[in-house]
Amino acid sequence: MIQISSANEMRAFVADLRARGQTVALVPTMGALHPGKQALIRAAAAKADAAIVSLFVNPLQFGPNEALARYPRNPAEDLERCAACGAHAAFTPETAEVFPRGYNTFVTEESLSKSLCGPARPAHFRGVATLMVQFLNLMRPQSVYFGQKTAQRAAVVRKVAEDLRCGAEIVVEPTVREADGLAAGSANLALSASQRQEALALSRTLGRVKEMADSGVRSPDRLAAEATHLLGQHRRVRMIYVAIVDRLTLEPAREIVPGRDMMALAAWVDEVRLIDNQIL
């Protein structure tokens, strides 16, 4: 595996791959490579001739009250994990390489980014879309890999790629869960032992809702009410949203269609913000 920090070097690297007829898959990350991200790298490496992992903490994704400085960083460990998972290259640019002084161009998606996490994080998806357009233009991957846990992010990037004719397939891999059921994520590192126990309410709630849907319950309102009730039993869990939507379009479901719809939720566990979802 090679490490590349320059955009020009990355452009030349990808041009050489394409000249030799090789396919390119991109796994965009902010580092802190938890088991979910590692699974994405392995999946990309298995399908494409060359898997490129970006390790870049995107400042545009953080709001004014979100702790960019506290985002976990361990670059040496991340590079080792990239190599172990089969990545062919790691892209590790400095912030000034991606957003140089005077940078003033942004990309917004005006529909899918407005629901779910959008109201609480109004600048987040603009940051995601802006960075992803840069990466799509720079690396010209045939495929880009996301986890089901970040379904809204994948949906926004898919729409941006379609609208701007970027030519990349957005691949969504199943959520990786840790042994206790908690969805893998960098935010888990901030949980204390007692907070983690409270956080399990999210995956257990989704599991209960899936059981109800599997048993034939088709009313989104009934399922959402059950989820709200279950989360409300945990005093350290403060619900941000519970919604049942089409997993691709994010449109609210009127009646559950198995395999199409998902329950998505977000909650604070004390000061730690967590998201999760479950296809019904």
Percent of the chain with pLDDT over 70: 100
134 and 199 both lie in a single domain: no
77 and 193 both lie in a single domain: no
Buried b (16+ CB within 10 A) or exposed e, 17-31: beeeeeebbbbbbbb
171: part of which helix (H) or strand (E)?
A: strand 169-173
C-beta of residue 142 within 8 angstroms of C-beta of residue 23: yes
> Residue 178 domain-assigned?
no
Q: Compute the distance between CA of residue 136 and CA of residue 73 in angstroms, rounded to an integer.
A: 24
Q: Compute the distance between CA of residue 162 and CA of residue 270 in angstroms, rounded to an integer.
A: 38
95 and 36 both lie in a single domain: yes
- Give me 55's structure tokens: 């390790």
Q: Compute the distance between CA of residue 150 and CA of residue 109 in angstroms, rounded to an integer.
A: 16
> Residue 30 domain-assigned?
yes
192 and 222 both lie in a single domain: yes
Across the strands, what pairs with 91? 4, 54
117 and 220 both lie in a single domain: no
Torsion on CA atoms 184, 190, 193, 196, rounded to nearest 10: -40
Classify strands 24-29 and 50-55 as parallel, antiparallel or unpaired: parallel
Considering its fold, how many domains does the chain have in total?
A: 2
124 and 197 both lie in a single domain: no
168 and 191 both lie in a single domain: no
Q: What is the pLDDT of residues 66-88, one digit of tens each?
A: 878 889 999 999 999 999 999 99
> Whose CA is closest to 247, among 233, 258, 232, 234?
258
126 and 91 both lie in a single domain: yes
Domain-ending residue, one of 116, 140, 173: 173
Q: Compute the distance between CA of residue 197 and CA of residue 189 in angstroms, rounded to an integer.
A: 13
> Residue 181 domain-assigned?
no
223 and 156 both lie in a single domain: no
191 and 114 both lie in a single domain: no
> Residue 180 domain-assigned?
no
Sign of the four-CA dihedral 45, 158, 70, 91: positive
Q: What is the pLDDT of residues 123-171, one digit of tens each?
A: 999 999 999 999 999 999 999 999 999 999 999 999 999 999 999 999 9
Torsion on CA atoms 174, 51, 8, 100, rounded to nearest 10: 20
Q: Could you tell me the end-to-end alpha-carbon distance of the chain, in angstroms, rounded to an integer?
A: 39
Q: Compute the distance between CA of residue 274 and CA of residue 135 in angstroms, rounded to an integer.
A: 26
CATH assignment at residue 205: 3.30.1300.10
Mean pLDDT of 173-190: 96
> Residue 179 domain-assigned?
no
Integer-rounded Cα radius of gyration of the chain: 19
The pLDDT of residue 172 is 98
Q: What is the pLDDT of residues 231-275, one digit of tens each?
A: 999 999 999 999 999 999 999 999 999 999 999 999 999 999 999
71 and 108 both lie in a single domain: yes
249 and 163 both lie in a single domain: no
CATH assignment at residue 35: 3.40.50.620
Does this model's pTM top 0.85? My answer is yes
User: Is residue 115 pLDDT above 90, yes or no?
Assistant: yes
Domain that holds residue 156: 2-173
